[in-house]
Structure 1
Amino acid sequence: MSLLSLNNVEVAYDRVFLAIKGVSLEVQEGSMVALLGANGAGKSTTLKTISGLLAPERGEVRRGEVQFMGQDILSLSPPERVRMGLVHVMEGRRIFEHLTPDENLLAAYRGPGAKKSFDELREQAYRYFPRLKERIRSKAGYLSGGEQQMLAIARALVTEPKLIMLDEPSLGLAPVLVKEIFAIIREINQNQGVSVLLVEQNATAALNVADHAYLIENGNIVMSGEAAVLKQNPDIQEFYLGGGERVDYHNVKHYRRRKRWLA
């Protein structure tokens, strides 16, 4: 069953610049979906469209539908979308640096509307991220980059989400930490049944954990399919995984790289 679906969504900034142009994608219940693409392709704009965070950046949905659990959510405010079970972990580890990990988690707790107590949700978060419990008395601003990313994801879990959207969780982290965090994200997906929409430039890490993937370029979805299949695609390997056929630029005067889907 489709948990989230975008149908032909178009977004413009300042009523002029088209950031995404007719994007359609789906996230099934319990699945993990990767949205791949280069800088400026429209990945973050797609997530902000879903979470309702376009307005502060003077963005607006010009046309299309965004449905979550079968309901059109474009008219809902960001807090209303969070209450439905949709949470957005933004790029750059947006935590409260002057607060401790506990206080950061408490800030995300829904209170009377929550199904579980704060203590239960906090212990669940610390089971996935035991390193945070070791730093429980530290101000979040003094945590390492990896620990801050863990805290951002743990805080999202406290909202009791049905879908977690992660924007570049590997940004600025060492490969060993990226591997650890992605493994925990996959564990949360499998153990909690929480769906995940993962935006990543690190295509290798994303395709290793995702079930399905979409590739966005210049605001358009240009490819989609099972993650394992996309990983074997020669264009994906050449342009996003660092493999594929190489060109000797010294011996070719007029070579112009052109992806097959744009040819």
Structure 2
Amino acid sequence: MTGLALSNVEVVYDKVFLAIKGVSLEVGEGEMVALLGSNGAGKSTTLKAISGLLGPERGEITRGEIRFGDTDLRPLGAPARVDRGLVHVLEGRRVFGHLTPDENLVAAYRGGKAERSFEELRDEVYRYFPRLKERARSKAGYLSGGEQQMLAIGRALVTEPKLIMLDEPSLGLAPVLVAEIFAIIREINQKHGLTVLLVEQNAAATLEIVNRAYLIENGQIVMSGEAETLKRNPDVQEFYLGSGGKVDYHAIKHYRRRKRWLA
């Protein structure tokens, strides 16, 4: 069953700049899918189009359809999308630095709309991220980068999501922390069937945990497939996994890298 489906979505900023151009992708219910690409490729814009956060940045969807299950998301505001089980963990963590981890989690709790008690959801977050429980009395602004990322994900889990979208969760973190956080995301996906859309530049780590991936360049999807298939693709290896290694670029005076899909 399709959890999330985008069909030919276009986004324009300031009524002038076309940021994403006919993006189509699907994330099946309970699936873990990645959207890979370099800086400025359109990854974050795609997530904001899904979560309803384009407005504050003067962006708008000018074409296409976004469906979550049987629901057309385009007429809905961001809070209504959260109520339907869709949550977006923004790039840069964005925790409330003046609040403790507990208070951050309370801020995300949906109160009377929630199916489970806050205490139950909080304890579940602390089981996944025991380090947060150890720092429960600290202000979130004093947590390490990895702990803040754990808190941002935990805060999203308190909303009882059906689909969680993670924007660059590895940004600025040491490889050991990236591996730890990715392993926990994978565990949550497998244990609870939580649908995950993961936006990343770190293709090597991401392709180890997802089922499928899409590759976006200049606002367009240029490649998609099973994670194992993309890992074996020579273009993906050269430009995103850093394992091409067949050309001595320093020995060539006028070498211009050209991706096959852009040729």
Query: Normalising to structure 2: TM-score of the pair?
Result: 0.98
Shift of the alpha carbon at 1:232?
0.8
- Name the residue aligned to 1:114: 114
- SS of match in other structure, 1:208: coil
- SS of match in other structure, 2:249: coil
- The runs of at least 4 aligned residues of structure 1 exceeding 6 Å deviation read none
- SS of match in other structure, 1:209: coil
Distance in 2 (CA, whole Å) between partners of 1:112 and 1:181 is 30
AA at the equivalent of 1:118: F
Distance in 1 (CA, whole Å) between partners of 2:85 and 2:182 is 21
Gaps of 5+ in 2: none
C-alpha offsets along residues 217-259 of structure 1, whole Å, 9 cap, x if unaligned?
0000000000111011100000000011432234434322111
- Name the residue aligned to 2:193: 193
Distance in 2 (CA, whole Å) between partners of 1:207 and 1:261 is 20
- SS of match in other structure, 2:207: helix
Gaps of 5+ in 1: none
Distance in 2 (CA, whole Å) between partners of 1:60 and 1:35 is 20
Distance in 2 (CA, whole Å) between partners of 1:58 and 1:236 is 33
Q: 1:250 to 1:208 in 2, by over 3 A?
A: closer
- Name the residue aligned to 2:140: 140
Distance in 2 (CA, whole Å) between partners of 1:250 and 1:101 is 49
- Name the residue aligned to 1:80: 80
AA at the equivalent of 1:10: E
Distance in 2 (CA, whole Å) between partners of 1:127 and 1:98 is 23
- Name the residue aligned to 1:217: 217
Distance in 2 (CA, whole Å) between partners of 1:242 and 1:19 is 27
- Name the residue aligned to 2:230: 230
Shift of the alpha carbon at 1:159?
0.2
Q: In the comparison of the two structures, how many residue pairs are matched?
A: 263
- Name the residue aligned to 2:168: 168
- SS of match in other structure, 1:20: strand
C-alpha offsets along residues 191-227 of structure 1, whole Å, 9 cap, x if unaligned?
1111000000000111010000000000000000001
- SS of match in other structure, 1:88: strand
Shift of the alpha carbon at 1:179?
0.3
- SS of match in other structure, 1:172: coil
- Name the residue aligned to 1:39: 39
- SS of match in other structure, 1:27: strand
Distance in 2 (CA, whole Å) between partners of 1:100 and 1:192 is 27
- Name the residue aligned to 1:177: 177
Query: In percent, how many aligned pairs have the same letter?
Result: 76
AA at the equivalent of 2:73: I
Distance in 2 (CA, whole Å) between partners of 1:245 and 1:154 is 39
Q: 1:112 to 1:260 in 2, by over 3 A?
A: same
Distance in 2 (CA, whole Å) between partners of 1:141 and 1:255 is 46
